[in-house]
Amino acid sequence: MPRHAFDSDDWPKRFRRRGLRFTEPRRLILDILNGTNEHLSAEEIYLAVHKKYPGIGLTTVYRTLDLLVEMGLVHQFQFGDGRSRYELIHNPGKPGHHHHLVCSRCKRIIDYDDFVEEEVELIRKVEEALAKKHDFSIEGHLIQFYGICRECRE
């Protein structure tokens, strides 16, 4: 049984269920996202796919990423370096739901999910309070800590 069989096997289904086709470019883009633990930009994904499939167009990468975000398979982030960065939500090499620690200087990004004891419970509570008070249906949160990494501090 191949590793990560569950999610990868699911991809084609998820597309077909929506009347969409699971094409080579789409498969390759997902493969790249599945195989990295970085937060890649559209261009970085394009370059990576390009090695295996030189015919790919940057346009297709953008279109596919929009689609994957829309389908809820990929998270899109803006870490402040002027371009969107993408991360596969169910990635075998990464923690599941996690937050980010970002170096303001070198832009290094660290995923973490070893939450402090009460962290998860508190977030649930905050979401509940916000939902009630502002009559919002909360669907998610973005939590990032900014700082300077050791290398950048010397």
Partner DNA sequence: TAGTAAATGAAAATCATTTTCATTAAGGAG
Partner DNA sequence: CTCCTTAATGAAAATGATTTTCATTTACTA
Please select the residue that binds DNA; options are 32, 33, 36, 41, rule is CB under 7 A.
Answer: 41
Q: Which one of Zn ion, DNA, Mn ion, none is in contact with 55 (Cβ closer than 5 to 8 A by kind)?
A: DNA
Least distance from DNA to the Cβ atom of residue 5, Å:
20
Question: Helix (H, G, I), strand (E, B), or coil: what is residue 41?
Answer: strand
CA distances from 103 to 82, 96, 108, 129, 151 (A): 15, 21, 5, 31, 10
Q: Which one of Zn ion, DNA, Mn ion, none is in contact with 111 (Cβ closer than 5 to 8 A by kind)?
A: Mn ion
Residues whose CB is less than 8 angstroms from the CB of residue 128 and which lie 6 or more positions away in sequence, other chains included: none
Least distance from a copy of itself to the Cβ atom of residue 67, Å:
17
Cα–Cα distance, 38 to 24 (Å, whole number): 22
Q: Which one of DNA, a copy of itself, Zn ion, none is in contact with 23 (Cβ closer than 5 to 8 A by kind)?
A: DNA
The answer to whether 84 touches 42, Cβ cutoff 8 Å, is yes
CB atoms < 10 A from the CB of 99, how many?
17
Least distance from Mn ion to the Cβ atom of residue 7, Å:
16
Q: Which one of Mn ion, DNA, Zn ion, none is in contact with 57 (Cβ closer than 5 to 8 A by kind)?
A: DNA
Task: Summarize as ranges the residues that interact with Zn ion (CB under 5 A).
Answer: 103, 105-106, 108, 149, 152
In the complex with Mn ion, the residue whose CB is nearer, 4 or 94, is 94
- The strand ranges marked E within 7-135 are 40-41, 74-78, 84-88, 99-103, 109-112
Bridge partners (DSSP) listed for residue 87: 75
The answer to the question of residue 83 lying near DNA (CB under 7 A) is: yes
Residues near DNA, by CB under 7 A: 15-16, 19-26, 41-43, 53, 55-60, 62-64, 66, 82-84
